[in-house]
């Protein structure tokens, strides 16, 4: 088993607090093999099933960003440092991470060819007849990102363009999770669905029944499921009295006839 960073060291070098480190350690233990490392297949499953990153090309690039020693496995330290950016990264860290993901060949530039490959992957799904549309989109995005107009995007170009338009951060496909998913992964106990409470007397005896269908040729009968916000004219509500409650007639009592 490889030597792991201590909790104190992780507190200094990651964006996690002590409780989050414990949770992430449990996640790592569940994912790691007998080698105490996460292999590529399990990590890809985690990206797709938990974080919604399902583009094969980008999944491989995210894996490589985590696997800093390029041994085709993710160690505990690599997992914790990578997740620190992936889940709780500061804006500058996330900008750098996305740039590394999109720099497919690792030459510190995002070329037009790399843009085309990523956009074709996530938009066209291999339809050759739409390649011209992808090329047009590449030209459009390049104009937004290539600040020094040299036909490719450096990290300086990338940072400058994102300072003006932050929505471009995942311009070439999703490579990071949403904040809601991150919170559930880091703090699963706090995000569990609350247990349903026992309804009160009134709600327990309330029924909502659809109104009688109007007989019209060619008109579908109303659904048996009544939407809670449907207009009152389309439904009627029957409220049953609680057990033991007296039944009060809605009809007015008969008038008494004066004695002759």
With a cut of 60, say whether residue 72 has pLDDT above it. Answer: yes
Instruction: Tell how far CA 164 is from the center of its chain.
Output: 25
CA distance linking residue 53 with residue 45, whole number of Å: 9
Residues 6+ apart with CB under 8 A from 187: 19, 20, 23
Tell me, what's the pLDDT at 129? 53
With a cut of 70, say whether residue 194 has pLDDT above it. Answer: no
pLDDT single digits (tens) 78-136: 999 999 999 999 999 999 999 999 999 999 999 999 999 999 887 755 555 578 889 99
- Work out the pLDDT band at 188, boundaries 50, 70, 90: confident
- Label residues 145-162 b or e (16+ Cβ within 10 Å = b): bbbeeeebbbeebbeebb
With a cut of 60, say whether residue 30 has pLDDT above it. Answer: yes
CA distance linking residue 44 with residue 103, whole number of Å: 19
With a cut of 60, say whether residue 260 has pLDDT above it. Answer: no
Tell me, what's the pLDDT at 189? 76
Tell me, what's the pLDDT at 195? 46
Chain mean pLDDT for the chain: 80
Q: What is the pTM of this model?
A: 0.70
The domains of the chain, with CATH numbers, are 7-186 (1.10.238.10)
DSSP secondary structure letters along 182-224 = HHHHH-TTTTSPPPPPPP-HHHHTEEEEEPPPP--TTPPPPPS
What mean pLDDT do residues 131-148 have? Answer: 91
Torsion angles phi and psi, residue 161, rounded to 5: -70, -40
CA distance linking residue 183 with residue 190, whole number of Å: 9
Beta bridge partners of 207: 238
- Work out the pLDDT band at 256, boundaries 50, 70, 90: low
């Amino acid at each position: 088993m490889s030597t792991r960073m201590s909790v104190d060291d992780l507190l200094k070098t990651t964006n996690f607090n002590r409780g989050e480190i414990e949770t992430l350690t449990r996640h790592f233990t569940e994912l790691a093999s007998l080698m105490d490392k996460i292999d590529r297949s399990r990590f890809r499953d985690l990206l797709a099933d938990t974080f919604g990153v399902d583009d094969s090309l980008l999944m491989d690039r995210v894996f490589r960003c985590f696997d800093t020693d390029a041994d085709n496995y993710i160690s505990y330290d690599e997992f914790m440092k990578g997740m620190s950016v992936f889940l709780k990264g500061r804006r500058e860290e996330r900008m750098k991470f996305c740039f590394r993901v999109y720099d497919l060949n690792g030459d510190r530039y995002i070329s037009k060819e790399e843009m085309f490959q990523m956009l074709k992957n996530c938009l066209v799904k291999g339809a050759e007849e739409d390649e011209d549309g992808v090329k047009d989109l590449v030209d459009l995005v390049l104009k937004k990102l290539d600040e020094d107009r040299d036909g490719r995007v450096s990290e300086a170009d990338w940072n400058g363009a994102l300072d003006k338009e932050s929505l471009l951060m995942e311009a070439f496909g999703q490579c990071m999770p949403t904040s809601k998913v991150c919170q559930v992964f880091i703090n699963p106990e706090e995000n569990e669905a609350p247990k349903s409470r026992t309804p009160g007397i009134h709600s327990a005896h309330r029924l909502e029944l659809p109104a009688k269908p109007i007989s019209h040729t060619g008109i579908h009968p109303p659904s048996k499921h009544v939407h809670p916000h449907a207009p009152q004219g389309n439904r009627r509500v029957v409220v049953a009295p609680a057990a033991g409650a007296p039944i009060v007639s809605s009809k007015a009592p008969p008038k008494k006839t004066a004695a002759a």
